[in-house]
Structure 1
């Protein structure tokens, strides 16, 4: 995506000196913007308005109340494109222990109800076989005593290794949230799918907020949620992983 001078002039910035594309995920176009006195990270969602970023803005503010996140500068719609402007964060190195403690601190934020104040819609993904095994899984979850004792925690919602970094002081920073209130084991399940979290992370998390017995047995059902989301976004590349879990039920 190319940003024209006319487009850039509508951002709430002055003295823009340089704009360059950067990696920013599979959904948005992303850019580093350098002005005379500051640097910014810009996300653009072509052919969508600012409401596309409303959930992310809300998530950054919820997470930012208890741990470090990028500061939201502005969001809006320019021409036919939604945008989100954040502070640019210079990266450094940090410890997995600090990250584990930060995630535990997030999970200590509780709410009386699960979810959020709006729904997510993923559409229908199932074959008949997947449908059958999914309903078996669902029945087991409903009968699991653990599910009746869960206290809804604030979750990052997409906690893989691409969604955290360390700033130049070594402080963990959580980025690109998809927040909701739910069982904190969902975030922990996501950390196990693609790697990037080591023993120090889990030990520090456990020391700060011990998990309930039996979590390892519950992880596959929570991994399934995220694998289904990837199946929806990226297709049948994730089908075998989905089926490996569903066939256990």
Structure 2
């Protein structure tokens, strides 16, 4: 199934629609499909039916939990009514595989970047409660991301982001950093920062944003309720978005002058995650960042 045929995809698609009858169309049939490159976790395909198009991800059955978390995050973004996303249709098991089927949008790399900034800021401004976390765990890439609710942002980020990633790094690389000392340092650096809780994408780099008919669309989230600055920091980690994006964002939600001071700390989370996922030069980057943090 991970090398599907038109017939096998029609069988999977028919099965999926029986799980979501309220969203099923009038006997849609898959007329054509093609693989989509760019992901390194799941096999992905665009499905073309005699109605709308769909985007399907396939993986082994153990991935269902991650697909469910992704669908939940995408739905939370869609429910915010602020910025476009690939709306989830359904996910489940089929034979020995798990699947996630999303709205199939034709995405381009360039579009209305100013509007993208405005719409992300609108999502960040939308009321999201008084606590930090989420109603279920999420995943950053394939890394489990705990989201237990916290009243204090410094504690949440220090323990459930940096501390969690460092614990995983110790398991993978046996680096043996003084995790508690690092957690305490992160907590101290964020001690006076208690941002208004906001729904965040959680992994907003250039590979997770596109444009459909010029309109911004974000996808592949690691969603939770946290500090909006975490999305800005990730957007700058591997090459910043075009300048109009930040201008549009600032026009709706002014960027705090102290944000650059917190940016390296928020980027550290993703660097440790990349060290856990890919190793290599990310390990040395993490070591350098931790030395600076502790000094």
TM over 0.5: yes
- Retained in 1: the 8 A contact 2:92–2:98? yes
Q: 2:124 aligns with which of 107, 128, 131?
A: 107
Structure 2 equivalent of residue 192 of structure 1: 236
- In terms of fraction of residues, the more helix-rich structure is 2
Deviation string for 1:49-77 (max 9, x for gaps)?
53331111111111112221112222111
1:158 aligns with 2:203: yes
Deviation string for 1:166-210 (max 9, x for gaps)?
111x11111111100111111111011112502211122112111
Q: 2:177 aligns with which of 131, 136, 139?
A: 131
1:57 aligns with 2:75: no
1:36 deviates by: 2.2
1:76 aligns with 2:92: yes
1:245 aligns with 2:289: yes
Distance 1:71 1:53 in 2: 13
Deviation string for 1:123-143 (max 9, x for gaps)?
5213676623x5444323322
- Retained in 1: the 8 A contact 2:10–2:29? no
1:117 aligns with 2:135: yes
- Retained in 2: the 8 A contact 1:73–1:85? yes
- Retained in 2: the 8 A contact 1:48–1:82? yes
Structure 1 equivalent of residue 3 of structure 2: 2
Q: Any idea what SS the aligned residue of 1:124 has? A: helix
TM-score, scaled relative to structure 2? 0.76
Q: Any idea what SS the aligned residue of 2:185 has? A: helix
- Retained in 2: the 8 A contact 1:7–1:78? no
Distance 1:3 1:125 in 2: 36
- Retained in 2: the 8 A contact 1:111–1:154? no
- Retained in 2: the 8 A contact 1:52–1:82? no
Q: Any idea what SS the aligned residue of 1:166 has? A: strand
Structure 2 equivalent of residue 143 of structure 1: 188
- Taking only aligned residues, the RMSD between alpha carbons, in angstroms, comes to 2.2
TM-score, scaled relative to structure 1? 0.89
- Retained in 1: the 8 A contact 2:69–2:136? no
1:7 deviates by: 5.6
Runs of 5+ consecutive residues of structure 2 not aligned to the other structure: 18-27, 138-144, 147-164
Worse-superposed segment, 61-70 or 11-20: 11-20
